[in-house]
Amino acid sequence: MTMKETIDEIRNQLDFEITKVNSLPELDQFRIKYLARKGIIAELFETLKNVPPDQKPSLGKELNELRTHAQNLHDEKKNNLESNQSSQSELIDITLPGRRKWIGSLHPITQTLNEIKSIFLRLGFEIASGPEIEDDYYNFEALNFPPDHPARDMQDTFFISKKTLLRTHTSPVQIRVMEKQQPPVRVIMPGRVYRNEAISARSYCLFHQVEGLYVDTNVTFSELKGTLVAFAQQFYGSDLKFRFRPSFFPFTEPSAEMDISCFLCKGKGCRVCKYAGWLEILGCGMVNPNVYKFVNYDPMKVSGYAFGMGIERITMLRYGIDDIRILFDNDVRFLKQF
Amino acid sequence: MKISLKWLRQYVEFNITPEELADKLTKAGLEVESIDYLGSKFNNFFTGQVLTVTKHPNANKLTVCDVNVGDSNIAIVCGAPNVAIGQKVVVGLAGAVVPRNQHDPDGKAFELAKVKIRGVESNGMICSEYELGIGEDKDGILVLNDNVTIGIPLAEFLGLNDIVFEIGITPNRPDCLSHIGIGREVAAALKTNYKLPEVTINESSSSIENSAIVIVEDSDKCPRYSARVIKNVKVQSSPKWLQNYLSAISIRPINNIVDATNYVLMETGHPLHAFDYDKLNEKTIIVREAIDGEHFVTLDGKGRSLTAGMLLICDAIKPIAIAGVMGGINSEITDNTKNILLESAYFDPRSIRKTSKQLGLSSDASQRFERGADPNATIYSINRAAQLIAEIAGGEIQKGIIDVYPKPFTPTRINVSLQRSNNILGTNLNVCQIIELLESINCEHQVAEKQNAEKDIVTFKVPSFRPDLEKEIDLIEELARLYGYDNIETKMQSVIKFTSNPVQSDIVDEMRLWLVGRGFNEIVTNSLQSKELAYLSSSEVVEVMNPISKDMAAMRTSLIPNILEVVRNNIYHQTKNLNLFEVGKTYLKILQESENQKSDENYKEEDKIILAKSGIANFPNWAENERNSDIYDLKGEVEDLLLKFGLDKYKFIPYSTTKALVDMPVSIEINQIEVGYIAKVQKQMLKQFDIEQDVYIADLNINIFKSLSKIEKKYKPLPDYPMVLRDLAFITDKVVPVSEMQGTIYKAGGELLRTVEIFDLYSGDQIHSDKKSSAFTLQFFSEDRTLTDVEIEKIINKIVEAMKVAHNAALRK
Ligand SMILES: [Zn+2]
């Protein structure tokens, strides 16, 4: 057997034997057999002295490669065996829960409001706000609710003084925005409003609204419908049906309520939609020219629309909540569901 | 407003189902909130005729009857003793719900089904009047008149098959508070006509002029007063048809006179009042203002104290009615009434509304007058009532009407611009359409003498029953309503113009999300609270004049009580480990209100964010010991929040004074501005809320936070040279604050010392009991070179020396 043949045979032997190694002691046997100072490879290096000098360089190279190969096999196996061993010695019960942290939550009212805001921001609306303790002037008079008018009965009011009250809707912010800014005006105005009504499953002494206002040249009722349908389709899904029906708000004319087909029963009729198949989601209309007079806009030059929706109502419809009070109870077991 | 379909059919004809009609009305702005099928409780009951009666083969007291129920003959087993061949009877078929079971002590309702009774099939039941709930006779079946047609639904036979709509009428439409008013709308919606009942009156020869005098002292508040006198009426129950109409719309029949005025009210919408003529002193009606303190007993039996400005109807010496609101007990129609005076007036809406509000008294009449009645309807409605009374109560209608109407109403004329209408609605209507649509609601097109060149302007005369139509926009709204909102195109065509300001995310939204990520649950609470709670935090409380309850008589001055209430309720439900936050406002009165100031100058609304932690600090974990939250947990949350939003120059400074509701308050300051504070809630407050565990809170002012927070972010190059870390521990007296030691270290360390963080605090056996050991990690680096050990040692020696001088601190080996 030539030295070359011996080297090749040992390489095969290495490749085979390493597969039989299953423990660290066995691996040590392997190491002693091949890689130790008196191992097989070391012995071969000894015999290299006896080969003819012309063969020495090439055989020396082969031998070096063999040693590297053996060492690699050994190291690789050692790594494998050690990592297996460590996972065995550190007994893990992966069924134990991990080290967790508290999970927080945004109040459902905030979540609904955020979604509404994001849709209108995409439609080019800005956000404005105003005070909750409001003048009669902004809450009623400038919105075309004349003093001693039955329309005021539509909203039961908390009074702070004869002329100061807790706003009953976010509409006064419309006036505040228009006082400060000339058209075009395109804003939404979220906020808290108050109603002096007995607290029940259906009504609370306060709730949240999002008001919208767009005033420019050539804003039409058709545009109002288009915008609100675009909103509703983004919020509720594009397959819904909708309808606008005439209504009355002193500060808009024509006024409308927007209904969408009940998404719970798909319009067939259920308890939530009172078997009508429709859900009322918002009130809207064209800004009444009387309102422009209070903010020094020229009703012959501009037109606009306004709309308003109740966040609690929308939140309750979305999540199937049937008692408004639970939104204000803040039971963590409830909050964690959102 | 309840509308009876049968009643409505008197004025307008239609061939659509009640549901279709409801849809039409709703689309016309008259929202049908519900439909009540009055006859539905008699579903599956029909009139029938007994054809044969044979003995039941297996029961002595029963018979088997063959009954014709119209389209078929059915076999019924009957137990009634009075059943006989040829009788017309009421039959309930399978599925019918018998209103009362006469064999049940409570008379509970039950549903009929096909059954076998002692082996013989029975397909229904012949009913007694008790069972049907229309009488009390239980002794036998109800036998009807021979001339009754068989096969008629029972509801129809009884005249109880009416369908009643509940319609939500908006405050601008007083004209729709009547059956004729709704009839007009139905006609417009269906493009058909409506008709008013014809009124013919047989007057007696004696004239009203000799029987009554009407004096109107205040014709601003009472622009029109019409009166009729009817003598020798017979007060009794109304006929069935009238009672049925009134009952259908939930008005209790009283007597024929009152029922007739109520009927005309619900028919025409015009309120009427009938006085007992013989109780009127000197047969005189005086319409005058009340005198302050005047006393009056209204029909409901309640004494009312009147104030000046309220309008009264009086006789020669005393008030007999509060005009347009309610009559008085002293002149009401009784069984003994012989002669009546009928009033049909028009009162000023504002005056009626004021009186009704002041007295807290609202009636069918006041609701119509305050929204605006029709001044031109007084005559038609008084005649209609007189005709009806003569018909059902007899009596002689005195000749003539006293009609005090000094300033007749001038109809409103409104110009409508075609172009503006189309511009506002986004429609393409032409002049003909506009005229056709508005004429369908009785707005008369006025042909102009000088026709406008572009024919853009059309003039309309508005009917007197539409006080809401005053301006062009009111008619444009009517155009939209009549044209149909559905027919107006739904399109978005405006160009989106974004503002010139760059979009900035709302810092409050970001704070919310940050806190949610930190495990906090957001809460939303009531901003009304009791005065007691409100005054605990401030003396400048905003009080509510007309609160729902004492618990909500003031605006909150602090978010703490609310969050404590939430803590309490959750603990009650066994959720004891709480991490809560709320974004909300507090409200303060900053100035005494004066007439010419706007409210925002008198009141201050502050945006706050409050954090509360109570119970275990970290999420319970099987491997680590639980630890209760303390002030450092809250401080850590606040520090992270501040750092996250670029506020690294903060200082926590204990208050030198006390603070409401909390103990150990620590102010959070940035550049000497207080952003908020952290604290532990007072034991006493916790006790008040029945909370037995500590609660720590942080209360931050959002607006200050916002104004200080760095909006602009700018990149700083990372250091090129390695940083060096050194740990140093110092032993000092326990009282030396860590932040002061940090300050000393920073100062002595010079500019190469970048951060000083405490990583351990020790007091215990290894050191003297008055001492503590504070261990710090110091971080050094330079922007232009690698620091050498020698350099670092030099600085550390300086620090050790400075610590010794400043705090008598010894380096711990
Ligand atoms: Zn539904």
Q: What digits encode the pLDDT tens for the residues A6-52?
A: 888 888 998 998 888 888 888 989 899 888 888 888 888 888 888 88
Do the chains contact at B543 and A105, CB–CB below 8 Å? no
Q: How confident is the model at residue A278 (pLDDT cuts 50, 70, 90)?
A: very high
Mean pLDDT (whole number) for B739-743: 92
CA distance to partner chain B, nearest, from residue A226 (Å)? 4
Q: How confident is the model at residue B577 (pLDDT cuts 50, 70, 90)?
A: very high
Q: How confident is the model at residue B494 (pLDDT cuts 50, 70, 90)?
A: confident
Do the chains contact at B526 and A328, CB–CB below 8 Å? yes
Q: Rounded CA gap, B553 and B532, in Å?
A: 9
Residues B510-544 pLDDT 10s: 999 999 999 999 999 999 999 999 999 999 999 99
Give the pLDDT score at B709.
Answer: 84
Q: Which of B579, B577, B542 is nearest to B558 (CA)?
A: B542
Is residue A331 scored above 70 in pLDDT?
Answer: yes
Distance of CA B4 to the CA centre of its chain: 26
Which residue of A222, A229, A327, A336 is the best one to mutate when testing the B interface, meaning the one whose CB has the most B CBs within 10 A? A222
Decide which of A154 and A145 is more confident.
Answer: A145
Give the pLDDT score at B595.
Answer: 58
Contact by Cβ (8 Å): B642, B673: no
The pair of three-digit structure tokens given for residue B86, joined into one six-digit string: 């040829």
Closest CB to B570: pick one of A153, A161, A331: A331
In terms of Cβ atoms closer than 10 Å to its own Cβ (0-12, 13-18, 19+), residue B505 is exposed
Mean pLDDT (whole number) for B415-426: 94
Is residue B502 scored above 70 in pLDDT?
Answer: no
Q: How confident is the model at residue A89 (pLDDT cuts 50, 70, 90)?
A: low
Sketch the domain layout of chain A as residue ranges. Answer: 3-90, 108-335
Which residue of B175, B466, B490, B641 is the best one to mutate when testing the A interface, meaning the one whose CB has the most A CBs within 10 A? B490
Q: Which of A98-102, A332-336, B214-218, B381-385 has the lowest mean pLDDT?
A: A98-102
Give the pLDDT score at B64.
Answer: 92
- Residues of A in Cβ contact (< 8 Å) with B471: 289-290
Contact by Cβ (8 Å): B341, B397: no
Do the chains contact at B600 and A109, CB–CB below 8 Å? no
Quote helix, strand, coil % in chain B, to nearest 5. 30, 30, 40
Q: Which residue in A has a C-alpha nearest to residue B357's C-alpha?
A: A148
The DSSP bridge pattern shows strands B521-522 and B578-589 to be parallel
Q: Does B170 touch chain A (CB under 8 A)?
A: yes
Q: Which of B119-128, B130-139, B361-370 has the lowest mean pLDDT?
A: B130-139
Q: How confident is the model at residue B158 (pLDDT cuts 50, 70, 90)?
A: confident
The side-by-side arrangement of strands in the sheet containing B213-216 is B213-216, B284-289, B311-314, B319-322, B326-327
What CATH number has the domain spanning A108-335?
Answer: 3.30.930.10
Give the pLDDT score at A88.
Answer: 63
The 10 Å Cβ neighbour count of residue B507 is 14
Q: How confident is the model at residue B504 (pLDDT cuts 50, 70, 90)?
A: low
Q: Which residues pair with B313 in a beta bridge?
A: B287, B321
Do the chains contact at B424 and A220, CB–CB below 8 Å? yes
Cα dist. B460→A254, B189, B512 in Å? 18, 20, 57
Give the pLDDT score at B449.
Answer: 60
Which residue of A95, A110, A133, A328 is the best one to mutate when testing the B interface, meaning the one whose CB has the most B CBs within 10 A? A133
Residues A187-244 pLDDT 10s: 999 999 999 998 999 899 999 999 999 999 989 999 999 999 999 999 998 888 999 9
pTM assigned to the model: 0.84
Q: How confident is the model at residue B389 (pLDDT cuts 50, 70, 90)?
A: very high
Contact by Cβ (8 Å): B217, B305: no
Which residue of B489, B492, B574 is the best one to mutate when testing the A interface, meaning the one whose CB has the most A CBs within 10 A? B492
Do the chains contact at B545 and A159, CB–CB below 8 Å? yes
Residues B660-671 pLDDT 10s: 899 989 999 999
Is residue B593 scored above 80 in pLDDT?
Answer: no
- Residues of A in Cβ contact (< 8 Å) with B28: 246
CA distance to partner chain B, nearest, from residue A83 (Å)? 25
Do the chains contact at A288 and B473, CB–CB below 8 Å? yes
Do the chains contact at A104 and B518, CB–CB below 8 Å? yes
Q: Does B26 touch chain A (CB under 8 A)?
A: yes
Output the CA A327–ligand 1 centroid distance in Å.
22
Angular region, B249: left φ>0, alpha ψ -120 to 50, beta rest: alpha
What are the b/e assignments for B128-162, b being 16+ CB within 10 Å? bbbbbebeeeeeebbbbeeeeebebbbbebbebbb
Give percent of chain B with pLDDT exceeding 70: 97
Q: What are phi and psi of B88, to 5 degrees?
A: -90, 130
Q: Which of A27, A31, A121, A39 is nearest to A77 (CA)?
A: A27
Give the pLDDT score at B71.
Answer: 87
Cα dist. B568→B527, B579, B614, B665 in Å? 18, 13, 11, 22
Output the CA A146–ligand 1 centroid distance in Å.
38
Give the pLDDT score at B759.
Answer: 94
Q: Which residue in A has a C-alpha nearest to residue B598's C-alpha?
A: A135
User: Three-state SS for B778?
Assistant: strand
Contact by Cβ (8 Å): B171, A153: yes
Give the pLDDT score at A154.
Answer: 77
ipTM of the complex: 0.85
Closest CB to A150: pick one of B371, B423, B523: B371
Is residue B506 scored above 90 in pLDDT?
Answer: no
Closest CB to A110: pick one of B512, B527, B618: B512
Q: Rounded CA gap, B321 and A174, in Å?
A: 44
Give the pLDDT score at B711.
Answer: 64
Q: Does B18 touch chain A (CB under 8 A)?
A: no
First CA to last CA across chain A, in angstroms? 79
Averaged pLDDT of chain B: 92
Q: Does B45 touch chain A (CB under 8 A)?
A: no
Q: Does B599 touch chain A (CB under 8 A)?
A: yes
Output the CA A321–ligand 1 centroid distance in Å.
14
Q: How confident is the model at residue B503 (pLDDT cuts 50, 70, 90)?
A: low
Do the chains contact at B497 and A335, CB–CB below 8 Å? no
Contact by Cβ (8 Å): B317, B281: yes
Residues A51-60 pLDDT 10s: 888 888 888 8
Degrees to nearest 5, angle at CA A298 with A295 and A302? 105
Q: How confident is the model at residue B495 (pLDDT cuts 50, 70, 90)?
A: confident
Distance of CA A216 to the CA centre of its chain: 33
CA distance to partner chain A, nearest, from residue B414 (Å)? 15
